[in-house]
Chain A
Amino acid sequence: MSGGAGVSGEAGSVPDTAPVVVLISADPRRSHRANEAMRIGLGVVAGENDVTFVLTGPGVHLLDADTDELVDGDDIARFRANLRALGIPFHVEADAIPSDADWNADRHEVVPITRERIAELVRQGRRFLAF
């Protein structure tokens, strides 16, 4: 299982209408996994599922302005634009948000959240994919 996404089964206590949670902590400056996570999450959205995207740790660099510095930067820019057009926000670990003024230059909707809130989202999700 190493290198793959962590995918949860469905909890008996979680309603079918609960969102799918896509948690991205992989560093898009060093790994293809962050882009793959966003692409897969977008695919789940296309299946008319409610999806909550959560960025933690170095995963927050998916919103860096300079996509040339990112692995798969062109794809990241395209998927980001698709998600923004769909009005899907990124829930971002508040402590991991960079102070760099160029971060999230596209003004994608961002919801800063605590680690405890992230844990709540994961626990309440219908499915959970961790990258």
Chain B
Amino acid sequence: MPTVLHLIKSADAALARTVIEQHVDAGDRVTVALLPGGAAPALPPGVTLRRVGSDLSYTQLLDLIFQADQVLTW
């Protein structure tokens, strides 16, 4: 099961949501890391949402990046 990390830093995450839905449908393990200024889209069930600076430090974010098979930045 590939691990996918979406980094969202923009206010418009509509396309990101569509891609996230496809990842989930494909059975990927998806984590969304919301950067300051980013807007969290409505996420499908099963997606883990982490907020950088709140419940996720930058050190932990770096760990997530290296653990992921794919990282997409929006």
Segment of A5-13, A42-50, A101-109 engaged in the interface with chain B: A5-13
How many Å lie between the Cα of A128 and that of B5 in the bound state?
A: 13
In the complex the two chains form, is A8's CB within 8 Å of B70's CB?
yes
The one of B2, B9, B19, B35 that contacts A122, using a Cβ cutoff of 8 Å: B19
In the complex the two chains form, is B2's CB within 8 Å of A11's CB?
yes
Q: Assuming A2-B37, A14-B70, is B22 touching A123 (CB within 8 A)?
A: yes
* Interface residues on chain A, number (Cβ under 8 Å): 24
Question: What are 8 inter-chain pairs, A to B, with CB distance below 8 A?
Answer: A1-B7, A2-B37, A9-B68, A11-B70, A12-B2, A56-B15, A122-B15, A130-B73
What is the distance, in angstroms, from A33's C-beta to the closest C-beta of chain B?
Answer: 12
In the complex the two chains form, is B22's CB within 8 Å of A119's CB?
yes
Check A116 for interface membership: any CB of B closer than 8 A: yes
How many Å lie between the Cα of A9 and that of B2 in the bound state?
A: 13
In the complex the two chains form, is B72's CB within 8 Å of A115's CB?
no
Q: Assuming A1-B9, A6-B74, is B4 touching A11 (CB within 8 A)?
A: yes
List the A side residues contacting B21 at CB < 8 Å. Answer: 119
Check B26 for interface membership: any CB of A closer than 8 A: yes
Interface set of A (CB-CB < 8 Å, partner B): 1-2, 5-14, 23, 25, 56, 115-116, 118-120, 122-123, 128, 130
In the complex the two chains form, is A11's CB within 8 Å of B15's CB?
no
Q: Assuming A1-B9, A1-B35, A11-B4, is B19 touching A123 (CB within 8 A)?
A: yes
Q: Assuming A119-B19, A122-B19, A123-B26, is B71 touching A8 (CB within 8 A)?
A: yes
List the A side residues contacting B47 at CB < 8 Å. Answer: none
In the complex the two chains form, is A13's CB within 8 Å of B2's CB?
yes
In the complex the two chains form, is B19's CB within 8 Å of A130's CB?
no
Shortest 3 CB-CB contacts between residues of A and residues of B: A6-B73, A11-B70, A119-B18
